[in-house]
Structure 1
Amino acid sequence: MSFKGGVFAKQIAKLASGTALAQLINIISLPLLTRLYTPSQFGVFAVFLASVAVLSSISTLKYENAILDEEDSQDAKNCTVLTAISGVFIVVPLLLYCIFSYYFDFSLIGIDWLTALFLTFAIIFTNTFTALYYWCNRLQHYNFMTKGRVFAAIAVAFISLLIGYLELGTVNGLIVGSLVGMAVNMVYLILKLNISFSTVRQISFEKLFVLFVKLKRFPLFLVPSTLLDRVAAQIHIFVFSSVFGSAIAGAMGVYNRVVGLPISLIGNAVGDVYKRRISELLKSGKSCRRAFIKTGLALFTIAAPASCVLFFFAPEVFTFVLGEEWKQAGEIASFLSVNFLLAFVVSPLAGILYLRENQKIDLLIQIVLVVLLAIGMSIAVYENSFKIALSAYAISFGVKYLVQLIVSFKLAK
């Protein structure tokens, strides 16, 4: 299929417009949540989300990328199943830990039996949703992808606010709301794709094993690279929480949530459609350079003004919208405004690193990132300096995004 800019733009608009409503719900609910839950409570929630992010980075074994990469439709369908069930190697240990932690009343690194149970459900929901989401992307079912996000956002906001207002467990309201949102999104896609028990019974485990071996490059290279990426992206939450306190971790978590709104709204929508387009171009042996440049310029045009606003006015904006106690989150946003710009532009373009035989390159980039972060965070902990920790985060990710941009541009040939 040839690259058609008009169709490409319409697909992005369809995906982004549906996502806009979901993000609007998040935007409306966030000022209410920040007045019901304290920065410390958001810090605990941030640690939970960081744990989910790290575990989910390896739970699918990255076979979801093969759903787009496979030329044969049946193989792609089997890859969808493979993606959904791959989480069993994480779910089983979590359940065992949950049982032993409950009966013997112990916890490791702050994870008790209830948190382990929450993490178990999160992995099940995330794996199934990821598989179905990529299958919808392959089939261009963008309406399903966007409506699921809207229903999930409504569920998250309603449950989190309800528990917060009723004071039925403080931070658990944020966690339970998040889990309900994941479940709603997953169930919606299952219903829209008409997946039933009879469909599941038709699965050939022999074919799944063949694909498991044939596509071993995805878990072999993308699992460690994605794990390193997620650890690098979340390690500051664990460091901030354990060294500088949960309130700072909460401020960082709210910053991530706020800047994640435009990235989810536009950046991810562009990335989803862009990845499918370049996959088609690569399969036909054509250059992706034109698509790369047009997409990059469009993303930069959108993100540059927002980055300037964050740099100059973030503390005032955060205080006005979220409340006085969230000024520190605004100061973090101002400090990381350039990182926001780079993340918004580069992350969608770097999708080419997950296709064809490019996974080795992505692994090397993530190794460099983790090394830089480990050095920076070690110095910050030794000096007990939050400023050094934040600077290490900014510099490490800045280097990562610039390297990804250069490498992705070369691969776009």
Structure 2
Amino acid sequence: MMNRLKNVLRKKFVKNVMMVATGTLGAQAITLLFAPIITRLYGPEVYGILGVFNTMVSMIVPVAALTIPVAIVLPKEDRSALSLAKLAILIAGFVSVIMLIIVLFFQDFILDVFNIKELSLYILLVPLVVLLSALMQVGEQWLIRKKEFKSTAKAAFLHSLLLNITKTAGGLWLPVAGVLVTIAAFGNGIKALLLYYFTRKEDPTISSKLTDFSDERLRMKDVFIEHKDFPIFRAPQVFINAVSQGLPVMMLTAFFGPAAAGFYSIGKTVLGLPSALIGKAVGDVFYPRIAEASNTGENLSALIIKSTLGLAVVGILPFGIVIAFGPMLFGFVFGADWVTAGEYARWISLWSYFLFMNQPTIKALPVLSAQAFHLKFTMVTLITRSIALALGYYLFQSDVVAVALFSITGGLLNIALILITIGISRKFDLERGV
């Protein structure tokens, strides 16, 4: 048994997952250590306003560069990957300018529709966040391409440490929504700088490479055409998925007020820890692994099934504990004001468990050339989740029921996505004669 365990741990894939997970574990441990302090300093309503801001940003950030950064891992040659990185930065700059124009002209309309007048002074930060986040994505994907998982782990740890220290200091000085929102706005910029630092350590010439645009127009055009499925299919899919993920915060705010959004935000944050710790680590390592497997003619469906089942076993304990003891745990850790968040968390756990499991599925879809399917599936997901939340409000007038219906629907949809993707991968393998 011990020899089998040693053999598993010696595998490069497992080593890389453990390396990423170690850095993420440190980052999440810091978040957990600071969370009881931060939640007590700011309270549910302030946290709810932050949740709304983060949700607005999260809807735009993934498509800031039309998901071009995700393609950086795929080319065989670094030259093509660098062209993709430059293209992503240029697109992000253009999108940020468009966002600034929209915010300047439609600021009052946006604030009224989502009932978030408290953000009137800070909504102008959104275009900046979009640009900084795109730079962060480029740095992260470049390091993943180079398999510098130790560097991404260090960046995650240092980012969490700096961010949580700043939030705590800000809360001790002035515990208002504006402080939390401003810190969050510059958070991705801090991580982008950390990733750039580690990228320069890996390649001291990266700055000159990224700023060299001689004869670049033709190369950027070529790589854009080669990876056109990312802006055409993946970007809309990611945007719709982000809207779907953000629906509860926006609709709970509109229906039940900022405190409900705060309860949901803290519940989703806590239940996102296993995904951030293990699920993302597996996903980041699995992506270049399955891309390589596709190029070398390996069986992709076997890889997807094995990784998914592994995550299914790992996720039972953490999510099961929250289902059983959610309200008590949240009241003890975050304070009496947050017991309702524990009720939310019980239901969110069901959805989060299957979301945790589907990381290999999500990473496999670009390699399987199934991004058009993913876009259609995500549109169905958005409509179904919207209906679930609306039923909770209009039929039951209950925030807890709304979250329960939303979460059950999300869990069932994630199961369907996993099964369909395995079917697609088997067909893909048969077509290649694997």
SS in 1 for 2:272: helix
CA contact (8 A) 1:101 1:113 kept: no
The reply on whether 1:143 has 2:150 as its aligned counterpart is yes
Alignment equivalent of 1:231, drawn from 234, 243, 247: 243
Aligned-partner Cα distance in 2 for 1:238–1:5: 46
Alignment equivalent of 1:297, drawn from 303, 309, 317: 309
Partner of 2:181: 175
CA contact (8 A) 2:330 2:339 kept: yes
The reply on whether 1:352 has 2:369 as its aligned counterpart is no
CA contact (8 A) 1:68 1:138 kept: yes
Which residue identity does 2:26 align to in structure 1? L
Q: How does 1:53-68 map to 2 (within 5 A)?
A: 53-68=58-73
Aligned-partner Cα distance in 1 for 2:262–2:109: 27
CA contact (8 A) 1:149 1:185 kept: yes
Which residue identity does 2:421 align to in structure 1? S
The reply on whether 1:411 has 2:416 as its aligned counterpart is no
| CA distance 1:411–1:275, change in 2 (3 Å) | farther
Deviation at 1:43, TM superposition (A): 0.5
CA contact (8 A) 2:308 2:359 kept: no
Partner of 1:44: 49
Aligned-partner Cα distance in 2 for 1:397–1:106: 27
Q: How does 1:6-405 map to 2 (within 5 A)?
A: 6-97=11-102, 109=113, 110=116, 114-167=121-174, 170-194=176-200, 198-203=208-213, 204-383=216-395, 384-405=397-418
Which residue identity does 2:326 align to in structure 1? A
* Structure 1 range deviating more: 182-191 or 9-18: 182-191
Deviation at 1:79, TM superposition (A): 1.3
Deviation at 1:97, TM superposition (A): 4.5
Aligned-partner Cα distance in 2 for 1:345–1:327: 27
Aligned-partner Cα distance in 2 for 1:94–1:22: 31
* Structure 1 range deviating more: 7-16 or 81-90: 81-90
> Number of residues paired by the alignment?
409
Aligned-partner Cα distance in 1 for 2:192–2:62: 18
* Structure 1 range deviating more: 80-89 or 266-275: 80-89
Deviation at 1:89, TM superposition (A): 3.6
SS in 1 for 2:405: helix
| CA distance 1:200–1:330, change in 2 (3 Å) | same
Aligned-partner Cα distance in 2 for 1:367–1:375: 13
Aligned-partner Cα distance in 2 for 1:126–1:213: 24
Deviation at 1:382, TM superposition (A): 2.6
Cα deviation, 1:92-150, whole Å, max 9, x if unaligned, reads 12323555689x99955447664233212211111011011111111001111111111
* Structure 1 range deviating more: 78-87 or 14-23: 78-87
Gaps of 5+ in 1: none
Aligned-partner Cα distance in 1 for 2:314–2:354: 12
TM-score, normalised with respect to structure 1 = 0.92
Aligned-partner Cα distance in 2 for 1:130–1:201: 17
Aligned-partner Cα distance in 2 for 1:219–1:345: 26
Deviation at 1:411, TM superposition (A): 3.2
CA contact (8 A) 2:122 2:178 kept: no
TM-score, normalised with respect to structure 2 = 0.88
| CA distance 1:151–1:75, change in 2 (3 Å) | same
Cα deviation, 1:356-382, whole Å, max 9, x if unaligned, reads 411011112101111212222333343
Deviation at 1:250, TM superposition (A): 0.1
SS in 2 for 1:228: helix
Deviation at 1:161, TM superposition (A): 0.7
Deviation at 1:261, TM superposition (A): 1.3
Which residue identity does 2:195 align to in structure 1? L
Where has structure 1 moved over 6 Å in runs of 4 or more? none
| CA distance 1:226–1:27, change in 2 (3 Å) | same
| CA distance 1:77–1:408, change in 2 (3 Å) | same
CA contact (8 A) 1:69 1:356 kept: no
CA contact (8 A) 2:268 2:348 kept: no
| CA distance 1:248–1:222, change in 2 (3 Å) | same
Aligned-partner Cα distance in 2 for 1:297–1:356: 20
Cα deviation, 1:280-300, whole Å, max 9, x if unaligned, reads 111223212332233222212
SS in 2 for 1:193: helix
SS in 2 for 1:412: helix
Aligned-partner Cα distance in 2 for 1:399–1:409: 16
* Identity %, equivalent residues: 23
Which residue identity does 1:54 align to in structure 2? M
Deviation at 1:78, TM superposition (A): 1.3
Aligned-partner Cα distance in 1 for 2:253–2:110: 21
SS in 1 for 2:266: helix
Gaps of 5+ in 2: 1-7, 427-434
> Cα RMSD (Å) of the superposition?
2.3
Deviation at 1:196, TM superposition (A): 6.3
Aligned-partner Cα distance in 2 for 1:87–1:396: 33
Aligned-partner Cα distance in 2 for 1:21–1:357: 35
SS in 1 for 2:299: coil
Deviation at 1:7, TM superposition (A): 0.7
CA contact (8 A) 2:132 2:192 kept: yes
CA contact (8 A) 1:155 1:177 kept: no
